[in-house]
Structures are given as C-alpha cells and as structure tokens.
Amino acid sequence: MLFRSFRLLRCFFEGGTVEAYQNNLKSMVHVVEQALELPKIMPHPIPLLQCTENKTLVMTQQQVFSLLANAFLCTFGRQPSNYADINFFELFSSGPPRAPGRLDRFTEGDYTKLEKLQCIFNYFYTMYLRNKFELWSHGRVVTFERRYLTDPEIPNWARARCDKLLSDVEININGKIEDCGKEMLQVDFANPAVGGDVFGEHASMEEIRFSICPELIVARLFTEQLGEDEVLLVTGCEQFSIYEGSGTRFRCTGLYQDPAIVDSMGKIGRAHV
C-alpha cells in the first residue's frame, strides 16, 4: 500500500492566523461541494488533447473549478506516463528533514510548496466569495487549444528568403510578464509536460504562472506531453495571486483582483502559450 504524506497541507492549515484558518475551512467546504458537482456539470468524458492533432476544448469557469477541486482532493486515477500528474499529492508532501531526527525542519523546497499552497487557496477563497455573494461568472470560459505543425508546414529558416521586415519589438527589462503583457499573448518556454514542476519544489517561470493562475493546472488532466513542433494555447485564465521572487525566494504576497475584461464570448483577452 502506497503511503501519502499530507504533512505540508497540515502545516499550511495550522501555521497561519485564526482568520486565515477559518477562511481556508470555508474554502474547503466550497471545494468539496463543487467537486461533487462534477458528474452534473460534466456528464460526458473529457476529450484528450493528444499528440499530432489540432484540437480545441472549451470549459466554463465552474467546470474548471470542479475539476481542480477534484484534483486537490486527489480523486482522479493514475495518469498515463505521457501525461502530467493532476492530483495534488506531491504538493502536500514534504521532503526529507534537513537534519536526521529533526522532523520539525522543512527543506527549502517545502517552503516553496507552502507558498504555492497559499496561491491555490487564494484561488479557492476568491471563488468561495464569488459563490457566496452570487458573483459567479457563469458566462466566462477558458479555452485550451493544442496546435501542431506538420513537416511541410514548418519553415526551413536556414534556406528561407523573405523581404518582409519583422514588426517593431519593444524590450522591457522592468516588471513581470503578467504586468507588462496584459491583454497580450504571453509565451512560456518551458517543460513539455504541461505545468512542469508546479506541484514540486521548483518555482521558475512556468511553475509560478501555474500557481498564480491555477486554472491553467487543469490542462494537465487532458493534455498529452508536447512535442517540439507543438504548443498549448490557453485563453481566458484569471490571475488570483501576487508574488515576488522565484526559486527558493518565491513568495506569495497576497490576493490579486484581476481587472481583465471579459468579451462577448465569455473570454478574457489574455492568452498563454
């Protein structure tokens, strides 16, 4: 029998203020309620975004939340090896203690995971409040698109001759991509497994983005590992946390109220690729 440690999750609940503890409990009640709604709001199997095919999958905000609620509760079965893990087991477990016999000590990676948990609960708490005050945006959707190029479609850049100039490029060395690139296509050059090490100890560009925009995480459930000639384009995800630093210095510093505008199709005009 495989033993799973939930040590970090317990530490997260017990290590904050009384107010934070109460808010987290309220959020968890809502998480369980929405997880149980999944058979009703998604009665059919979810299509897979598999290798070497162009396919689009559209979900409502509530469907995404229900899927993530189930992933947090670890209700999904084991993923095939060519798909990323969707259950949150790894995020809840801690690494080996720094000193033998000192079980109260956490590794640097454990502290990073605790910050990621705070980002996740910022998302849960925001959605709990929206549900409580009937601010749930039923019309908002998130679109997941897998794009694939066949060999004839891939340009031969070494031999290509083109008299067209590139568009003007602006380089900004200050700020973060999510601040400077609002309402723009935001490119993440990262792991072929969607989300990278979002449940693990690392906090680079991809892991941070999936932590502050948890709706991206749901793509791990149905997106097969990306090839060199493929991308995943996600449109409509909100940002729920603000942060500072990266790696072992990554810190979740608070809730974020995303000012992004929802268009007539229910989409937020921001795309991640």
Q: What's the CA gap between 94 and 44, in Å, rounded?
A: 36
d(CA 8, CA 15): 10
Residue 31 in tokens: 């998480």
From the number of C-beta atoms within 10 Å of its C-beta (0-12, 13-18, 19+), residue 51 rates as middle
Strand partners, 147: 231
58: β partners: 143
Q: Report d(CA 52, CA 273) in Å as an integer.
A: 17
Residue with tokens 């990621």: 116
Rounded to whole angstroms, the Cα distance separating 38 from 76 reads 12
Please tell me the distance from the alpha carbon of residue 51 to that of residue 57, in angstroms, as a whole number.
15
Nearest-angstrom CA–CA distance, 82 and 191: 13
Active-site residues: which are they?
188, 206-207
Q: What is the helix (H) or strand (E) element at residue 34, kind and residue range?
A: helix 18-36
- Please report the DSSP string for 82-108 in residue order: TB---SSHHHH-----SSTT-TT---H
Q: What is residue 222's three-state secondary structure?
A: helix
61 and 142 in contact (C-beta within 8 Å)? yes
Strands 271-272 and 185-186: parallel
